[in-house]
């Protein structure tokens, strides 16, 4: 990374855009005044529009190809375990899209009737395309600066290398053809170091993004299935544009030939077809799944304490954090499906969904889940392994503070849980203060359109019970949900976790959930 003060960037990063607007005046200083300046600037702006169109098409075409592939296959993210597949699939179609404006312009130039007019138009076209591309990167650099972002160095360096290469070409090639092989070599060679840096930076960015797509979260359908492929395709289109774009003003007519365009199109279709034969996950790039053994104990209302060791509901809850749903997981993990008694006819229409409140112990991670499922689980082993479950109770009468405010003194017992990682409290109702965090309440949270609630995470285990107080500013009920995450799992749950294949990275734990009203 390269760092320099923002005041330096204010000067350096505005130089390219200043050159872009000054050059029409310098090029036609001896011509007929303002009309010539405006005409030249108009040609430059047309070149900028041409380059911008290619940049946009380089993003749109990979996105279109990625969507078309997903419409004919049952799995997304085939490139996740094989990042080179992403390059194979999307770089050819990105190049194809970027070269379309150049190909159309070249075809219109060839169709000129008079050879001399064709030559004059071609030279002007090369100059306009160069300054248009230069202006595109200059405007991007200025836009970064105006938006207050810390980037812009890459586009600044690209525009600088383009300018140096063009000066070299113009100093050696006076009035001859700017599209000759000699001019092309003089233009390309000085830009190799900067383009190599662009390729390195872009490749690192794509690799980083591919790795993060495996834990970006499961977005709800119907768009969630397409998002990771679309994002990767778009980023590869952007990277391809800034790596190839600076070369197009001079090299575009070589690359935009019909045979090369046809080859890129065929290569894109072939790569998309081959990519569907690859499995998305390996042990080095696993699919991440969450397996929670949820144990919901009895509810306690006011000061009436019921049997805290009674289990109201026991279930195995599953969630994934990428676009390949649980149906994909159960399809390729047949032993798990057999243990859960999942039939081939199983679908989301017949499945039992797990509500987000059940994942309270992992807050705020459950916001990454979509269409998580639950399956019934036995309670025999739980009752044998645990003498007491986590339990919340009042240890003294509530205190009246005046004006309808009451303070409730609570005591939390973790019971006989074995490997406590975190305890989460979800408090709903007229809460005005508490004994946590210097008596300061956080911003309220809303889950699935429910009432606002306050969530507190308490980490670690304790040999003694935890005591705290809550204040309510009215006589309405104060509802407290407690979720205790225990990393220990009983035999059946541990066996089920072991049935997952090696390409699945399973986060498994037990969660004791109980609800109270005070």
Q: Which residues pair with 375 in a beta bridge?
A: 316
Q: How far apart are CA 49 and CA 43, in angstroms?
A: 10
* Predicted confidence band of residue 119 (pLDDT cuts 50, 70, 90): very low
Residue 67 domain-assigned?
yes
Residue 350 domain-assigned?
yes
* Residue 243 and residue 367 in one domain: no
Structural domain of 416: 287-517
* Residue 409 and residue 263 in one domain: no
Residue 492 domain-assigned?
yes
* Predicted confidence band of residue 307 (pLDDT cuts 50, 70, 90): low
DSSP string, 382-432: HHHH-SS--EEEESS--EEEETTEEEEEEEEE-TT-SSEEEEEEEEESSEE
* Residue 101 and residue 238 in one domain: yes
Q: Is the pLDDT of residue 495 over 70?
A: yes
User: Could you give the C-alpha distances from 297 to 276, 306, 484, 512, 516, in angstroms and in order?
Assistant: 46, 10, 11, 7, 10
Q: Is the pLDDT of residue 179 over 80?
A: no
Give the pLDDT mean for 397-420: 81
DSSP string, 236-259: HHHHHHHHHGGGHHHHHHHHT-HH
Q: Domain boundary at 224, 250, 275, which? A: 275
* Residue 193 and residue 309 in one domain: no
Q: How far apart are CA 62 and CA 258, in angstroms?
A: 20
Nearest one of 411, 386, 414, 383 to 470, comparing CA atoms: 411
Residue 479 domain-assigned?
yes
* Residue 297 and residue 270 in one domain: no
Domain count, the chain: 2
* Residue 249 and residue 331 in one domain: no
Tell me, what's the pLDDT at 118?
42
> Cβ contacts of residue 256 below 8 Å, gap of 6+?
99, 102, 103, 106
Q: How far apart are CA 54 and CA 64, in angstroms?
A: 15
Q: How far apart are CA 361 and CA 124, in angstroms?
A: 66
* Predicted confidence band of residue 123 (pLDDT cuts 50, 70, 90): very low
Return the number of other C-beta atoms located less than 10 Å from residue 217's C-beta: 17
State pTM to two decimals. 0.87
In degrees, rounded to 5, the angle at the alpha carbon of residue 189 between the alpha carbons of residues 187 and 191 is 80
Tell me, what's the pLDDT at 115?
44
Share the mean pLDDT of the chain: 85
* Residue 293 and residue 442 in one domain: yes
Residue 402 domain-assigned?
yes
Q: How far apart are CA 105 and CA 172, in angstroms?
A: 26
Residue 31 DSSP symbol:
S
* Residue 258 and residue 169 in one domain: yes
* Residue 375 and residue 427 in one domain: yes
Give the pLDDT mean for 134-160: 88
* Residue 122 and residue 182 in one domain: yes
Q: Is the pLDDT of residue 236 over 60?
A: yes
Q: Domain boundary at 240, 275, 310, which? A: 275
* Residue 346 and residue 423 in one domain: yes
Residue 282 domain-assigned?
no
* Residue 15 and residue 66 in one domain: yes
User: Could you give the C-alpha distances from 153 to 21, 246, 471, in angstroms and in order?
Assistant: 20, 15, 53
Tens-digit pLDDT profile for residues 11-34: 888 899 999 998 888 877 655 555
Residue 507 domain-assigned?
yes
Q: Where are the alpha helices (DSSP H) in 111-191?
A: 115-146, 153-172, 181-188
The domain that contains 340 carries what CATH number?
2.60.40.1930
Beta strands in 200-338 (DSSP E): 287-297, 300-301, 311-320
Give the pLDDT mean for 447-465: 77
Least reliable range by pLDDT among 59-68, 176-185, 277-286: 176-185
Residue 81 domain-assigned?
yes
């Amino acid at each position: 990374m390269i760092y320099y003060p923002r005041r330096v960037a204010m000067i350096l990063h505005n130089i390219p855009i200043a050159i872009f607007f000054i050059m029409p005046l310098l090029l036609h200083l001896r011509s007929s005044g303002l009309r010539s300046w405006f005409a030249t600037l108009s040609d430059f702006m047309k070149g900028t529009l041409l380059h911008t169109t290619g940049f946009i098409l380089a993003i749109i075409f990979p996105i279109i190809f990625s969507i078309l592939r997903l419409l004919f296959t049952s799995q997304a993210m085939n490139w996740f375990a094989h990042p080179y597949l992403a390059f194979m699939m999307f770089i050819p179609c990105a190049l194809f899209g970027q070269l379309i404006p150049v190909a159309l312009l070249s075809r219109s130039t060839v169709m000129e009737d008079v050879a001399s007019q064709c030559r004059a138009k071609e030279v002007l076209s090369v100059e306009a395309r160069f300054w248009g591309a230069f202006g595109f990167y200059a405007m991007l650099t200025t836009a970064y600066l105006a938006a207050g972002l810390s980037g812009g160095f890459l586009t600044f360096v690209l525009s600088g290398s383009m300018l140096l290469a063009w000066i070299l070409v113009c100093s050696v090639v006076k009035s001859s053809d700017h599209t000759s092989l000699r001019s092309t070599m003089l233009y390309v060679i000085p830009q190799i170091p900067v383009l190599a840096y662009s390729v390195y930076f872009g490749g690192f960015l794509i690799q980083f993004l591919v790795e993060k797509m495996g834990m970006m979260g499961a977005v709800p359908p119907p768009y969630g299935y397409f998002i990771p492929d679309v994002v990767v395709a778009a980023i590869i289109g952007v990277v391809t544009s800034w790596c190839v774009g600076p070369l197009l003003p001079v090299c575009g007519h070589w690359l935009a030939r019909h045979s090369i365009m046809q080859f890129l199109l065929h290569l894109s279709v072939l790569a998309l077809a081959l990519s569907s034969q690859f499995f998305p996950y390996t042990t080095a790039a696993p699919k991440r799944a969450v397996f929670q053994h949820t144990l919901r104990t009895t509810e306690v209302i006011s000061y009436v304490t019921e049997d805290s060791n009674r289990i109201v509901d026991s279930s195995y809850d599953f969630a994934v954090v990428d676009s390949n749903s649980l149906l994909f997981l159960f399809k390729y993990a047949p032993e798990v499906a057999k243990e859960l008694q999942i039939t081939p006819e199983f679908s989301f229409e017949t499945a039992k969904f797990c509500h987000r409140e059940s994942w309270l112990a992992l807050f705020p991670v459950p916001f990454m889940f979509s269409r998580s499922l639950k399956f019934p689980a036995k309670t025999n082993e739980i009752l044998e392994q645990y003498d007491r479950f986590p339990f919340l109770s009042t240890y003294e009468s509530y205190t009246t503070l005046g004006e309808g405010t009451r303070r409730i003194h609570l005591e939390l017992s973790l019971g006989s849980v074995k490997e406590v990682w975190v305890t989460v409290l979800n408090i709903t109702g007229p809460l005005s203060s508490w004994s946590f965090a210097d008596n300061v309440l956080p911003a309220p949270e809303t889950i699935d359109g429910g009432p606002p609630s306050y969530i507190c995470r308490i980490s670690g285990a304790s040999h003694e019970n935890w005591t705290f107080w809550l204040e309510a500013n009215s006589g309405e009920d104060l509802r407290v949900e407690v979720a205790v995450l225990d990393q220990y799992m009983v035999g059946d749950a541990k066996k089920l976790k072991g049935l997952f294949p090696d390409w699945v990275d399973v986060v498994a734990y037990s969660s004791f959930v109980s609800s109270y009203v005070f």
